[in-house]
Chain A
């Protein structure tokens, strides 16, 4: 359910990004996200809510590509990295130490946007200058 709100936030960020291009409207093909395994986000649900949210908007047809980032911890005893799991209470297999340092897995990031610019026609006429 919270994926709907996540998508709203994502759309706001995309809107900000679009405004950087001024009057030329970018046509977005792919939005690349990185979503960590140690977050509350279900990538499949995010794609579903995205597809619904962009209908009829300037992003219509844009695809969401999600790269899942695994949870990786670093054992503070021996500095080895490991894949914490709920089954082993997130402890390190090397020294049986609790999960203190998280190296990756908390990402919720808009990594990049693939798009094209239609250079010829400006999307909007420049506003008339008041005299």
Chain B
């Protein structure tokens, strides 16, 4: 029984460790210049999902169509604000991989705290690692850790 406990820990623990510690491959393609126009209106961004490659040079053109809106990029902690009808630019290098929430940074009305979009840079390795770990966790549940 002792050996079987160790066996189970090895069975699930080792793959889990591998998933956790595996180095993140970084995007290999040549970085490109990306200009992305985002329209902000109460209470959504259009487009709400933006995908870029890691290393891309990004310029976000924020256009507020009704009232003042902002755009804050989680993880990069950058923001920009645009008055109605105005276009404001935010330029940065998308050097960090993952999926990051973008949220309005200026109270613009009741649903302001829920005005959210997503910026996807390269591959969301956090999610894929999580999926692998979830599979392991589910298998561990079915097979059991102990005896």
Partners in one complex: no
Question: A interface vs B, CB < 8 Å?
Answer: none
